[in-house]
Structure 1
Amino acid sequence: MTNEKIMIVEDEKIVALDIKDSLEHFGYSVPCMADSGEDAIKFIDQYRPDLILMDIVLKGKIDGIEAAKEIRDNYNIPVIYLTAYSDEKTLQRAKLTEPFGHILKPFDERELRTNIEIALYKQEKEKEKQFDREKCVNSLLDNIGDAVISTDINGNIKYINPLAEALTGYTKKEALGCRITNVFKIVCEEERVVEDPIRKVLREGAFFGLEDNTTLISKNNTRIPLDIIGSPVTNKKNEIIGAVIIFYDITDRKEIERSFHSYDISYC
C-alpha cells in the first residue's frame, strides 16, 4: 500500500470522481479535487500533494498549462496532464512546463497507474540527487574557515555551519527556522543597530562589508568585531530565493590596528 497523496484537477465532476476511485483502488490517497487552476494552486499549501493530475481545459481564468507553470516555478511537485487535446500548439505549450507525463483521454487504468508510478519514481530520484548535492555543499561549508549562514528570501535560517554556531552561540537546532536577526545580532558604533544583511542583499545584490566597526553580540553577550560578505541565492530563472552571509572574526586585526595606532601616538 502506498501513502502518496495525489491532487486531481478536473472540471468535469463525474470524470474526477472516476479518477479518484481508480487512484484509491491503486492505494493512493486523494486529499482534494479542484476544478480550476486557481483552486489547484491555492490547495497546494493546504494539502501538500505528492503529484498532480492536471486537465488542460479548466474553469476559471487560467488553464491547466498556466497552473502547471506556476506550480513548476514555485513548488517541486510533479504534474501529469490528463487531456483530450493533442493538437501541436497545445502540446508545445504543455512541453514548456516540463510535465512528468501526458495522457490522452480516454485512458485505461493501467496507463494511468504506469504514468503515476514512473512520475513518482523520477521525483524520488530527483530528491535523492538534490539531497546528495546539498549534503556535499553543506559538508564543504562545514569545513571552510569562515562562518556561514544561509536563509530563504524572508530571512529565515536554512543552514548554519559549526563556526557560525560558535561565534553566534546558537546551535544548529536553535537557529534553523529562526529569523537571522534573532541569531546574527550585529551593531556598529554607538550601539546603533546595523541594517538587516538580507535586506541589503535583496536591494543591492552581493555586498562586502556593512558598516565600519560592525560587531556581533553573541548569545552570551560576547562582543566580536566582524567583516561580513553577503551574496544572493538564485534559482534557475535567476530570481533571488535567499541569501548567504559569510562572516569572520577580526579581533586580531583590530588588536594590531590599536597597537599600531598607540605606537604612532607615543612616537610623536
Structure 2
Amino acid sequence: MTDTSDDDKYRAPALSKGLDILELLASGAEGLTQVDIAKTLGRTTPEIFRMLMVLRQRGYVELGEGDDRYHLSTKMFEVAHRHPPLRRLTAIAGEAMQKLADALNQSMHLAILSSGRVLVVAQVDCPDNHLTSVRLGAQVPVADTASGRVLAAWMAPPALDRLLAEMAEPEPRRAGFLADLPGVRAAGYCESPSLTIAGVHNLSAPVFDVSGRVAAAVTIPFITRLSGTSTVGPAASRQALVEMAADLSRRMGAGARG
C-alpha cells in the first residue's frame, strides 16, 4: 500500500486556488486581469474564471470600473474585524486614540501582526490641516516600522523565530532589526526616525492582552509643523502615548492573571 503524507491526505485544491488568488490580489494595488492571474499562478484561464466568479459572488473580489482588472474588496478586512479579540481591541482603542490625537495634534494608528507583516487596523487623524497618516488596512514590512519593533520586542524566542522566517529579510536588515529589540523592551516603547519618510519621528507603544502578550502597537508618526501648531513636543507626546497604551492594556485585561 502506498504511503500518503498528511499534506496529500488533506489537500483541498479548490480552496488552495481560491486562497492563491486572494493572496495574489492582496500583494498589489493595481489589480490584475483574469489572464494575468492565471499566468502568475500557473493555472488555466477557465479554472481561474470559475474561482473568480465564486469569489465575486461571495463579495471577496470585484472588477474595477471600466476595466477588466480584479481587485480585493473590503470584505476580508470586515471579516477579520468580526474576530472577537480584534473587535474588542479596536472598539476600546478608537475613542482613546481620537482624544489623544486631538490633544497632541498628531495622527496615530493601531497595528497588529498578520502573516509576517504589520497590518494597520485602526487610524485616527488630528484636527490640523496638515498631517501624516497611514492608510487603514495597509500592510507594511515589519522591519520598516516602529510598530514592528514593538510587536516583536516582547515575543518569546520560538514566536520571534517564526516571525523572522515569515519576514524573509536579508541578513543585514534582520540583524539590525534584532539589535533594536532589547532596547525597545527595556524602554517600554520604540522611538526612532521613520525608515520610510524623512522628517517623521515615530513613537510607538505596546498594548498587552490578558495573556501578557503584545496584542497591538499604537504609533504616532510625529511631525513638527513649521506653522507653530505643534504645541506638544515629542517627549511629552511619547509619555502621553505610553500612558494611553498602558490604559488600553489594563482595559484588555493585562495584569489580571496573578
Q: Specify if TM > 0.5.
A: no
Q: Normalised by the size of structure 2, how large is the TM-score?
A: 0.32
Q: Normalised by the size of structure 1, how large is the TM-score?
A: 0.31
